[in-house]
């Protein structure tokens, strides 16, 4: 019986601390200087290490490092850890991640692309006499509406120069080097 009481007393604080943990976004503002992507992630990890008990716990809590447009990371934190991070000099803000429902922010898109009958310019109205644009587009079947551009990855197979002939003599380009990207990464 004593063991059960001791076990419950030990387990309750642990369960309470797990229940209050949630995903927070830690924002540093703009990137300072030119750092390689792995250096940015190490930088983010160092902040987590300052509020976590171990390196393993810090690595496990990091969900995502924002390394391109903004400087920050998403991590599973307790409210106390989030507060400690928010008090650090280089941290701009720390806020809980929230799931938001995305809503349409345009009011005339359908009209603009001519997908509603009777709407659009004179030329579009003439086209609609023969066949409605929406019908021509098979009501959007097999159409890509958006595209996500997550940057260039030079190691991708799409950049391989295997099987290509020599560089044309008329080509006047250069191999542009950058952070963690030297001329040996360029194809021919």
- The predicted-structure confidence for 49-70, as pLDDT tens digits, reads as follows 999 999 999 999 999 998 888 8
- The continuous run of DSSP H or E covering 112 comes out as helix 109-112
Q: What is the pLDDT of residues 74-99, one digit of tens each?
A: 999 999 999 999 999 899 999 998 87
Spans of the chain, pLDDT less than 70: 1-19, 101-134, 137, 139, 143-144, 154, 188
Q: What burial class does residue 35 get, using C-beta atoms within 10 Å of its C-beta: 0-12 exposed, 13-18 middle, 19+ buried?
A: middle
* pLDDT at residue number 76: 94
Concatenated DSSP letters for 41-84? HHHHHHHHHTTSSSHHHHHHHEEEEE-SSSEEEEEEE-HHHHHH
Domains and CATH numbers, the chain: 16-96 (3.30.70.80), 109-140 (no CATH)
* pLDDT at residue number 98: 83
């Amino acid at each position: 019986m004593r063991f059960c009481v001791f076990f419950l007393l030990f387990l309750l604080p642990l369960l309470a601390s797990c229940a209050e943990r949630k995903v927070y976004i830690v924002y540093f503002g703009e990137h300072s200087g030119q750092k390689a992507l792995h250096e940015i992630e190490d930088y983010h990890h160092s902040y987590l290490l300052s509020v976590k008990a171990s390196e393993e716990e810090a690595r496990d809590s990091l969900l995502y490092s924002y390394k391109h447009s903004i400087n920050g990371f998403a991590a599973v934190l307790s409210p106390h850890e989030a507060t400690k991070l928010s008090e650090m000099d280089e941290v701009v803000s720390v806020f809980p991640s929230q799931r938001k429902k995305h809503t349409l922010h345009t009011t005339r898109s359908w009209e603009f692309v001519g997908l509603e009958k009777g709407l659009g310019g004179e030329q579009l109205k003439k086209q609609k006499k023969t066949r409605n644009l929406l019908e021509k587009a098979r009501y959007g079947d097999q159409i890509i509406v958006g595209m996500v551009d997550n940057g260039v990855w030079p190691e991708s197979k799409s950049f391989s120069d295997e099987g290509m002939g020599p560089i044309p003599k008329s080509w006047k380009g250069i191999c542009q080097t950058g952070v963690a990207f030297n001329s040996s990464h360029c194809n021919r």
